[in-house]
Amino acid sequence: MDPVTTNKLFPRLAKVLALCASMPLAAPVAADVNVYSYRQSYLIDPMFEAFTEQTGIKVNTVFAKKGLIERLVNEGNNSPADLLITSDIGRVLQGVEAGVTQPIESDKLNDTIPANFRDANNHWFGISARARLIVVAKDRVTEDELTSYADLASPALKGRICTRSGKHDYMVALIASQLAHNGEEATTTWLSNLKTNLARKPQGNDRAQIKAIAQGECDVAVVNSYYMGVMLSDPEQAPAAQTVRIVFPDQGGNGTHMNVSGVSMTKSAPNKMDALMLMEFLVSEEAQALYAEVNHEYPVRTDMKASNMVAAWGDFDYDSLSMSDIAAQRALASKLVDRVGYDN
Ligand code: FE
């Protein structure tokens, strides 16, 4: 078809083509930021949308339940990923230990995030915090019966506790924190006595422990705080969650054990400047409020409140042990789990 015919048949198309031809070819286009995430999209998308609205920078997300670190290793320098988002210090550190992250110098990140919730070497930064709570049957456990992690080893609780596998990251981190505070001997005794107190072989996820309390299988469980938020917000799971009372352990002592979700810059990040802008946005007041609302976690910023539901559970003192100090005890914690036969 020659141009004359185009003009005749499609005058509008011809005008558009002429306009395109007059535009410079290398018009500056805002680059995207690419995120590999172990966190589900619905948890992080609200923040990314707010970021895009403010900056015009698009955020692409690849979500997977596993295999993202392996993928980064395999992709090497050709990886399109700029940021890695993970939760639990065990997983946060997998990327660092695999060598796929890079240190980031940012006054904004360092000034905003408390030191215990970020890496001293700047390879990862906490963006939300979760408490490892004790929950108890409202009708079977009195207020003063149980106030600390140490109490989980009390003979009074024999056959009354449910937890998930001692090998799970959440349990390993809790045991690691006890190691950091109390040393190997005391922690081995504690874990061994806690094992004696189990009502059943460790099984299921954290929510399954709350359901087991509701069903009368046990009276006490150890769970991450946001699962209470998830269950209370879900009409099907709320009745089970309403049978338990939250205990913030170790108030007046070391404080309640905390963990984080975090973000790292990948070693090969192709869009470093924009990715850093996104990292800094993630700890802004706006993003922290959005994140706390949707995931029922605690903001890492000490100047911000949790969502209304989570804040209503009460203020508490958290254990200020650094995530790095906890991480340093993870290997030994895992060994103790085997040594006392926790999962058997
Ligand atoms: Fe979880």
Ligand 1 centroid distance, CA of 225 (Å):
9
Is pLDDT of 13 > 60? no
How much distance in Å is there from the Cα of 170 to the middle of ligand 1? 8
How high is the pLDDT of residue 258?
98
Under 8 Å between Cβ of 48 and 1? no
Please tell me the distance between residue 77's alpha carbon and the centre of ligand 1 in angstroms.
31
Find the DSSP H helices in the chain.
Answer: 3-9, 11-22, 41-55, 68-75, 89-97, 107-112, 169-196, 206-214, 225-232, 238-241, 272-282, 285-295, 308-311, 323-327, 330-339
Confidence of residue 260 (pLDDT cuts 50, 70, 90): very high
Q: Which position has the higher pLDDT, 274 or 30?
A: 274
CATH architecture of the region 33-129+259-312: 3-Layer(aba) Sandwich (3.40)
CATH 3.40.190.10 residue ranges in the chain? 33-129+259-312, 130-257+325-339
**Strand, coil or helix: what is 238?**
helix
Q: Summarize pLDDT for 124-146 with one digit per residue, the tens.
A: 999 999 999 999 999 999 999 99
Is residue 31 over pLDDT 90? no
Distance in Å, CA 209 to ligand 1 centroid: 13
The pLDDT of residue 228: 98
CA of 224 to the centre of ligand 1 (A): 7
State yes or no: pLDDT of 23 exceeds 50. Answer: no
CA of 308 to the centre of ligand 1 (A): 20
100 band by pLDDT with thresholds 50, 70 and 90: very high
CA of 1 to the centre of ligand 1 (A): 61
pLDDT of amino acid 25: 46
Task: Flag whether pLDDT at 1 surpasses 80.
Answer: no
| CA of residue 129 to ligand 1 center, whole Å | 12
Per CATH, which fold does 130-257+325-339 belong to? D-Maltodextrin-Binding Protein; domain 2 (3.40.190)
Q: How wide is the angle at C-alpha 187 spanned by C-alphas 184 and 189, nearest 5°? A: 110
Does the pLDDT of residue 193 top 50, yes or no?
A: yes
Contacts of 242 (CB under 8 A, 6+ apart): 232
- Residue 21 pLDDT > 60: no
Ligand 1 centre from 248 Cα, in Å?
18
Using the mean position of ligand 1's atoms as its centre, give its distance from the Cα of residue 261 in Å. Answer: 10
